[in-house]
Amino acid sequence: PALDEPGLVSDYAPIIDVALSRGEPSPPSRKADMRQLTDQCELVFERMNNATTCAKQLNNFYQKLSEIENSYSNALLKLAQSTQFSGSESLQTTLSTLLVSVEIRSSIHANFANELQQKLAKEMGDLSNQMKKERTQTRNVWVDSEKALRNQTTAVEKHFQRYLQSVRDGEKEVSMKNETSFSAVKSAAKQDKKIQEAIGRYRCRKESYGEAVATHGKIRSQYAKTCSYILAN
């Protein structure tokens, strides 16, 4: 085989390189696992958004209900204060008790309106703002992590293609040397030089590819941790 020709050191074409040079697929990646994590995080963000919207709607509901209760309280108080009864003293005493009960009802509704506004509406408003802030902050961290992983994945692919090309270039140079007549010493010497240059490019690109893969592994690990944190919290 071409890769066994003299002039090529043994580490030029390890088993995986031979497979790559022949166009065979590279080992399975973890894209499916990363895709699953991404989908799960997107689902979490969607739920957070729905919860934020629900809290906001409850805030509006309690505010409107508070306004209704407050209006009803004012109407009851106005009715009680503007009503006068004529008749015997005993009848007026009885009717005065009725007016007092109306004023008490007015006070109860006023307190309920205040409770709705100061507690329930406020709590839902604060919760909505807090959840919106947390979702924005969390999503920004996730987006940055996902973007870094996507960019590094692209970088790995570019390094891989250059690395693969260097394997093919080396095989081409060796093949050309095999076709060169042994009597053509000068031509053979030039071909040896080209082979050595191909080996040099191969080693350089192999190292760059390895570094890109290592960096990708670190970024992928960090992305997985970020997703796991989001899913756990």
Mean pLDDT, residues 45-73: 95
83-120 tens-digit pLDDT: 887 767 777 778 888 899 999 999 999 999 999 999 99
Closest CA to 231 of 13, 4, 47: 47
% of the chain surpassing 90 pLDDT:
38
Where helices occur in the chain by DSSP H, the ranges are: 15-21, 31-82, 89-115, 122-179, 185-232
Q: Are 72 and 109 in contact (CB under 8 A)?
A: yes
Q: State the pLDDT confidence band at 20, using cuts at 50, 70 and 90.
A: very low
Residue owning tokens 């919860």: 51
> φ, ψ for residue 128 (rounded to 5)?
-60, -45
- Cα dist from 37 to 48, 75, 80, whole Å: 17, 57, 64
Domains defined for the chain, CATH in brackets: 11-232 (1.20.1270.60)
191-212 tens-digit pLDDT: 777 778 888 888 888 888 888 8
Q: Are 7 and 180 in contact (CB under 8 A)?
A: no
126-166 tens-digit pLDDT: 999 999 999 999 999 999 998 998 899 889 888 888 888 88
